[in-house]
Structure 1
Amino acid sequence: MNLKIWTPRYAKNRISLYIYEQFNKDKPWIAPTAIQWLDEHLNKNMMGVEFGSGRSTVWYAKRLKSLISIEDHQDWFKQVNDDLKNSDIDNISYLFKPSIMDSEGNIPYIELMDSIEESSVDIIVVDGKHRDTLALKAIDKLASGGYLLLDDAERYIPLKTHAPYNYLNQQSEQLPTWKEFSNVTKQWKQLQFSSGVSDTVILIKP
């Protein structure tokens, strides 16, 4: 435990988020205000892709026409897959893709993004491994007006936030891939949602 981050403000935010999550176990592990925004803006005409699955998977699928969800942790994949089998959802393509390089030098988790047609997706959720690479690749895959959701965004892009792991507060340099991402998306509308523990950002493609 990093005791340095446990300020009174952070403790209050952490407790509030814990209580919210205990009473909303069917909702994604992202900022609650982001969940509210998505609930108002997702619809059954949309196609989505999710990198990093969980209890969010069914939640997104219920609000979209179709969802491709990709997971790289095999035990977690089996658990979520069992949950999906017990649900009434039939619009999910749930895939296990390793996030490490194979014998041919490819990373299946990333290759899945490469296989998606350009300008064909309405929302892409980047909440798993290789976030920098996937966020960059997502740019061309989104349709105009599409949403790119980046969780724990304070760790990667410049944000004003009280979340403790903001890379700006740690006097760290933004990684080159994230700097490229920020430059490419600087004209996009950016919505920031914070729990005070972490930040969720939704960028809207022009």
Structure 2
Amino acid sequence: MAFWSPDGLRKSRFHDEKGNLVDAGWLWPAAFAFGTAAAKRLFGFRLQRPMISIRATGQLAAFLRKDFNAVEFGSGMSTPWLAKRCGFLLSVEDHPEWAGRVRQMLAKLGTADNVRYELRSRETYADLSEFPDGHFHFALIDGSDRRHCVRSVLPKMAVGGVIYLDNSDKDAGKIGDLSLAEELLLDTANSHGWKVRTFTDFSPTNFFVEQGLLVTVTSAHGGAASQTGLSSDITLSDGRTVTVTGLLAKHVGEGRHAEVAQLVEDDLRLGA
């Protein structure tokens, strides 16, 4: 297994896609990632733990409590792990075949009793409107449509709660779902004075470094982020004119009209 970039998206296995070098004290996470990656490749082995930063998982294990409400967008090995540590888990998935496998795993492990597992369409994937504000103590955003998941979850977080956005190094230097999700989360955290920590770290079964963003909600969500008042009209490739707001409008003002238009067209095609 080579130590240079496995995918051409990073300088080496020890850099994330933004070019950040792995966090200090990386040796044991690297060894753990290497071992689990080899086991997955050779034997199909998967750990029953989140496929996110190894260090972040340790922090979350210490943080979570059995009386907590949690939501995860994107299910998998994290689902039984969270179910064992929370009182209620809403797990949202949009891939039917994978959802069937996760449901079978939950039933086999006996961890389905406190899990509300939902297979959703793109249109309803990020919807949390049925829950009151301040309902959730933890949110893991590691699936589809992440920027809308961030927007949806922000008012639903309890004070003292934690949001974890995985793969926040994706879409580096361009306008994409991951970069907009990160931008919205950071913009909101900074405007509210919430605590922010980034992890540039290995994850189980992946012998390369990725970034995750952990935000601690230290005060009530007081409204939208600072870019919300912005709006701008853009023209799509079919000649239609649509109005974009918030961060998308900000990027139009920066002269990135074509990138924003492409993202909007992708959303319309997918039904977002």
2:143 is the counterpart of 1:131:
no
Specify which of 116, 124, 141 is matched with residue 93 of structure 1: 116
Q: Distance in 1 between matches of 2:167 and 2:110?
A: 30
1: CA distance between counterparts of 2:131 and 2:121?
Answer: 17
State the 4+ residue runs in structure 1 displaced beyond 6 angstroms. 12-15
CA contact (8 A) 1:150 1:201 kept: yes
Following TM superposition, by how much is the alpha carbon of 1:177 offset from its aligned partner in structure 2, in angstroms?
A: 6.1
**Structure 1 residue 119 displacement after superposition:** 0.7
Q: CA deviation at 1:173?
A: 5.8
Could you state the TM-score of these two structures normalised by the residue count of structure 2?
0.61
- What is the SS of the residue equivalent to 1:48? strand
Give unpaired runs (5+ residues) of structure 1. Answer: 100-106, 156-164
**Native 8 Å contact 2:136 2:161 kept in 1:** yes
2:74 maps to: 52
> What's the counterpart of residue 39 of structure 1?
61
- Residues in 2 aligned to 1:24 and 1:177: alpha-carbon distance in whole angstroms: 28
Match of 1:76 in 2: 98
Q: Does the alignment pair 1:183 with 2:187?
A: yes
> Percentage identity across aligned positions?
24
How big is the shift at 1:195? 1.5
Secondary structure in 2 aligned to 1:27?
A: coil
2:210 aligned to which of 187, 198, 201:
198
Instruction: Indicate the residue corresponding to 2:169 in structure 1.
Output: 154
Alpha carbons of structure 1 residues 68 and 8: separation in structure 2 relative to 1, 3 Å:
closer
RMSD: 2.7
What is the DSSP-based 3-state SS (H/G/I as helix, E as strand, rest coil) of the residue aligned with 1:7? Answer: coil
The amino acid across from 1:127 in the alignment is D
Deviation at 1:67, TM superposition (A): 0.5
Q: Per the alignment, in what secondary structure is the counterpart of residue 190 of structure 1?
A: strand
TM (normalized to structure 1)?
A: 0.79
Q: From the superposition, tell whether residues 147 and 80 of structure 1 become closer, same or farther in structure 2 (CA, over 3 Å).
A: same
Which shifted more, 193-202 or 172-181?
Answer: 172-181
Q: SS at the partner of 1:139?
A: helix
SS at match of 2:109: coil
Query: Paired residue for 1:5, among 4, 10, 28?
Result: 10
Say which one has the larger Rg.
2
Gaps of 5+ in 2: 1-5, 16-21, 40-44, 203-208, 219-272
Task: Say if 2:71 and 2:138, in contact at 8 Å, map to a contact too.
Answer: yes
2:183 aligned partner, one-letter code: K
Letter of the structure 2 residue corresponding to residue 36 of structure 1: G
SS of residue matched to 2:125? helix
Pick the aligned partner of 1:109 from 121, 125, 129: 125
Residue 96 of structure 1, CA deviation: 0.5
CA distance in 2, matches of 1:20, 1:152: 19
